[in-house]
Amino acid sequence: MKTAAIYIRVSTDSQAEEGYSIDAQKEQLSAYCVSKGIKKYEFYIDGGWSGSNIERPEMQRLIEDVNADKISHVIVYKLDRLSRSQKDTLYLIEDVFNPHGVDFVSLNESMDTSTPMGRLMLGILSAFAQLERENIRLRTRMGMKERVKSGLWMGGGRVPFGYDYDKDKGVLVPNRDAEKVRQIYKLYIEGKAPQEIANLLGLKYDRLVYQILTRKSNYGIIEYNGEEYQGQHEPIISKEIYDIAMRCMLERKFVRANTSEHLLTGLLHCGKCGAKMRYQKWGNKGCKLVCYSQQKSKTYLIKDPNCEQERVWADEVEGEVIKAIFAFANNYKPSETESLAPGDTLSLLYEQQTSLNKKIKKLYNVYAAGEDNDILLETIEELKKKLSSINQQIELNEQDDIVLARRKEKTELLLTVRELWDAMDVRQKKHIVRKLVNKVVITGSHVHIDFSL
């Protein structure tokens, strides 16, 4: 036979308050049990405990007995005797008592969950608790937004690979894995596959490589609720390196997924509504380019169902794009930096790095041999400062060389595209166009080409 639990709590401050003493509560609660014909009951008394949380000895014993299915009722003098926290009160009633069929009674509020009116009161309390939770969540989000707007990291959660979180300053700090992050971008831009990169750098799986590549925090941006904010943390890579990697990702994705023979598939955008455009067979005359907002088959691509973009002949647009590429190539003049060979500056820096390392090692050997000399130590420290400066220059130049190599590749394409164009097949032509063009925007019959250089 189950027992009714009479729970009594008296905090130190309320010992002398009328009606709150342990004896007063015991008297009224036991009288209630007698009036309801409840013969078997047990007292659970927390004397001198605050109601701000449920970490109380007798409360914990009560919870254990409820979970052991020993309790039929939980009876209190007043709701705040159970807890002063609405959240804890609802937790006890909804998550502890109800699942075990335990009725809850509060004398002061005339609340009895075994009756329809008591359950109604519980529902009202739950609704108010839910409202409070939503308000807390809203205030938290507002506070978090102000935090990231000022450039601070969100705190908590996962810290991006390559960074540690400085709680005192509220910012990300590059750690020893930052160099791995730089290597990931370098190897990916050079053409290495994500799984190959993961194997080379000791990462668990290729998906982690994708995750690292697409994190904007790597170049100093914090993303929060779909918005971007400039962070106060030190970037690991430049924005230019990030953009090149994303461009490479799009190119590879297109090559894997696209078997279309159409030259501009995937590059076409409507200038009126911003939706993508597609090739559509138009009788025996060829294909026209159609805005996806005018195609009801793929609703997720619709930007404006009332878009009035006209349908233009695909071969005419392709001709405009080819002419624009040739014109761009004819007028293109490489910058002075593009005439440099990648690695020219780095080779010199690497030589200096090696030389300084040898000098420092030699001086340490002399010091270890017993030449206890303050001048010797000062010389070592000076060389270490120079080495640190050289290492920083190497890091910057390695990133510059990635950008330079990418630009030189596109420059070479531009310089040869016209003379090689007619000898290329459709797949080769598509590859060249995607290297040189970000997107083609069609507004009415006007064609705008956004070049990637």
Name the residues annotated as catalytic: 11
Tokens of 346: 């780095």
Burial 30-55 (b: 16+ CB within 10 A, else e): eebbeeeebeebeebebeebebeebe
104 bridge partner residues: 74
The length of the chain, given as a count of residues:
453
Question: What one-character-per-residue DSSP string does 208-267 give?
Answer: HHHHHHT-GGGGTEEEETTEEEE-SSPPSS-HHHHHHHHHHHHHHHHHHH-----TTTTT
Compute the distance between CA of residue 117 and CA of residue 124 in angstroms, rounded to an integer.
11
* Token pair of 338 as six digits: 């593009």
DSSP structure string for 11-58: -GGGTTSTTTSHHHHHHHHHHHHHHTT---EEEEEEET--SSSS--HH
CB atoms within 10 A of CB 235: 18
Integer distance in angstroms from the first to the last C-alpha of the chain? 83
Reported as half-sphere exposure (CB side, CA atoms, 13 A), residue 260 has a value of 14
In terms of Cα–Cα distance, which of 9, 402, 433, 46 is closest to 237? 402
Tokens (6 digits) for 402? 């990635």
For 341-368, b/e burial (b = at least 16 CB within 10 A) is ebeebbeebeeebeebeeebeebeeeee
**Cβ density class 152-183: b for 16+ within 10 Å, e for less:** bbeeeeebbbbbebeeeebbbebbebbebbbe
